[in-house]
Amino acid sequence: MNFTKTYIDSGVLIAAFRGITPTRIKATKILDDPQREYATSLFVKLEVLPKAIYNKQPAEVDFYETFFAGCTIWANELEKIVESAQKLASDFGLGAIDALHVAAAISVNSDQLITTEKTSKPMHRVTQIQVISIY
């Protein structure tokens, strides 16, 4: 079976847990898709878990931890990812965290990067990976 290797941006996880209904439905549909293999990074984890933990939101923490436990691909080559992110940020006008997410997704050969960023944002200028917005 061929799976779509999918890097999930932190906004998608947040939308799936506490988003406005249309975006939440799209996010949940992607996260529940049995045809996908999920990729992530410590950058996503850093964006979603600390605030949920700090704000004592155990259901939200559990939701994120369940997602991370199900991820089969982790972008771990941090030095290489940061170098790539710097080039991507310079080439496409990306902000720091968006550049790190794109570089992480590319580093593990993801087919897609799913995000909540509007299509007018610089992330969608990147040509090395398919960037899809659920916004």
3-state SS string over 50-117? HHHHHCCCHHHHHHHHHHHHHCCEEECCHHHHHHHHHHHHHHHCCCHHHHHHHHHHHHCCCCEEEECC
20 vs 69, which has greater pLDDT? 69
Structural domains of the chain, ranges and CATH numbers in brackets? 4-133 (3.40.50.1010)
Instruction: Give the pLDDT confidence of 20-65 residue by residue, as tens digits.
Output: 889 999 999 999 999 999 999 999 999 999 999 999 999 999 999 9
Report the pLDDT value the prediction gives residue 82, as an integer from 0 to 100.
Answer: 98
Residue 19's pLDDT band (boundaries 50, 70, 90)? Answer: confident
As a whole number, mean pLDDT of residues 64-68 equals 98
